[in-house]
Amino acid sequence: MSQVNHKVNREVKQWGILGTSFISGVMAAAIRQDGQSKIYAVAGRSPEPRDALAQQYDIPVQHESYDALIADPEVDIVYIALPNHLHHEYVIKAAQAGKAILCEKSLSVDMEKTDAALAAVAQNQVFFAEGLMYLNHPFTAKILEVIKSGKIGELRSIQGQYTAAISQFVNPDSKGALYNLGCYPVSLLHLIIEQCCGCEALESYTLSAMGRRGQDGNICEAQANFQFGNGLMAQLHTAEDYGLHAEFTILGSTGSLQITSNPWLPEAKNQLTVTQYEQTPEVIDVEAEGDGFLYQVKSVLNALGNNDAHLGRPAARPEDSRQIMKLLTDWEAAVTA
């Protein structure tokens, strides 16, 4: 794994949180639960939610501007919890300031901004991770283990669906369901293909899609049909104005794997089901210390302790984040074609 040229020398790493949305509180709780680092500062443009977050999680410093937090020498890790369309701007600023970066998903809303952000990370040789938190959880590793064991044979078809009624909470500039929710089934699909079929299977694919727009003009529901270079077929669906529903099924040549728990919100107890065709299903329970956010915090701190430039698989490396964004933007383009 590549390494950064400098180390965060402080023994107890200090976080700075950009933004005061719901997800900021979730991450703050995970950092507190882990107990191996501290939240030093929060930045927000509205004083009331900023003060509420600071009081709830004992955050000693508040900044009125995001730039001030990034410039604060006491901040080691910048957690970017802003709307999707702002991610690239603050990834670039944090990279130029030499900070370690954890940026919420989706990395951006188009490939130009994605490439600009990742270029800044590479040029400044800082740690970077995209906040697809579930990829750090043992449940994801178990899913890969089962597939690689050959229990379901060669991969043939994948179906994934994630819907949640969040449209009233999201920023309209963040471009809707694909980048708010579709990133989850897309990233899991990408992980499985890359790890179980090889990178070459992702190099070419055909794609057809359909969707509808919500009141804000963004795509609020969409379905995609992929066929990859190795012949694997995948069907994904997402919507942000109804649900909560999560489903992911993998069909192989000899059996199937159904992820019974929500794969994108893994908890302390999780479950998947493996079935040899026309045989009795095998239920596999996967226990863990906590949720995906806790494991994300642990993974980031472990990587920084090793002076690594990014997380290792199954978590998303920078090149994985770029490929995930390419799948998402291609899906968007197919809907609007």
Q: Is the pLDDT of residue 7 over 60?
A: no
Tokens of 243: 């649900």
Q: Is the pLDDT of residue 13 over 70?
A: yes
Tokens of 306: 């090793």
What region does 306 belong to: left with phi over 0, alpha with psi -120 to 50, or beta?
alpha
Amino acid 63: pLDDT = 98
Question: Looking at residues 2-21, what average pLDDT do you find?
Answer: 83
Q: For 215-262, how does the pLDDT look when each residue is reduced to its tens digit (9 = 90+)? A: 999 999 999 999 999 999 999 999 999 999 999 999 999 999 999 999
From CA 219, how far away is CA 65, in angstroms rounded? 31
| pTM of the predicted model over 0.85 | yes
Per-residue pLDDT band for 10 (boundaries 50, 70, 90) equals confident
Q: For 167-189, how does the pLDDT look when each residue is reduced to its tens digit (9 = 90+)? A: 999 999 999 999 999 999 999 99
Question: Looking at residues 53-66, what average pLDDT do you find?
Answer: 98
Whole-number percent of the chain with pLDDT over 70: 98
Amino acid 1: pLDDT = 65
Q: Is the pLDDT of residue 41 over 60?
A: yes
Amino acid 6: pLDDT = 54
Tokens of 324: 């995930």
Q: For 72-86, how does the pLDDT look when each residue is reduced to its tens digit (9 = 90+)? A: 999 999 999 999 999
DSSP E strand boundaries for the chain: 14-18, 38-43, 61-63, 77-80, 100-104, 128-131, 155-164, 205-213, 219-228, 233-239, 244-252, 255-259, 269-276, 282-287
Point out which residues pair with 227 in neighbouring strands: 206, 233
> CB of 109 within 8 A of CB of 175?
yes
Q: Is the pLDDT of residue 199 over 70?
A: yes
Per-residue pLDDT band for 2 (boundaries 50, 70, 90) equals confident
Phi, psi of 111 (to 5 degrees): -75, -30
Domains, the chain, with CATH or none? 14-131 (3.40.50.720), 135-293+325-336 (3.30.360.10)
Phi, psi of 137 (to 5 degrees): -85, 145
Q: What share of the chain is helix, strand, coil (3-state, %, to 5)?
A: 40, 30, 35
From CA 275, how far away is CA 252, in angstroms rounded? 10
Taking all residues of the chain, what is their mean pLDDT, rounded to a whole number?
96
Question: Looking at residues 315-327, what average pLDDT do you find?
Answer: 98
> CB of 331 within 8 A of CB of 178?
yes
Amino acid 8: pLDDT = 60
> CB of 48 within 8 A of CB of 77?
no
Amino acid 95: pLDDT = 98
Question: Looking at residues 91-102, what average pLDDT do you find?
Answer: 98
Amino acid 30: pLDDT = 98
Whole-number percent of the chain with pLDDT over 90: 96
Ordered alpha helix ranges (H), 149-273: 177, 183-196
Question: Looking at residues 101-108, what average pLDDT do you find?
Answer: 98
241-280 burial, b at 16+ Cβ within 10 Å, e below that, comes to beeeebbbebbbeebbbbbbbbbbbbeeebebebbeeeee
Amino acid 180: pLDDT = 97
Question: Looking at residues 121-150, what average pLDDT do you find?
Answer: 98
Amino acid 238: pLDDT = 98
Q: Is the pLDDT of residue 27 over 60?
A: yes
Cα 181 to Cα 89, 236, 281, distances in angstroms? 21, 11, 29
Bond into 314 cis (ω within 30)? yes
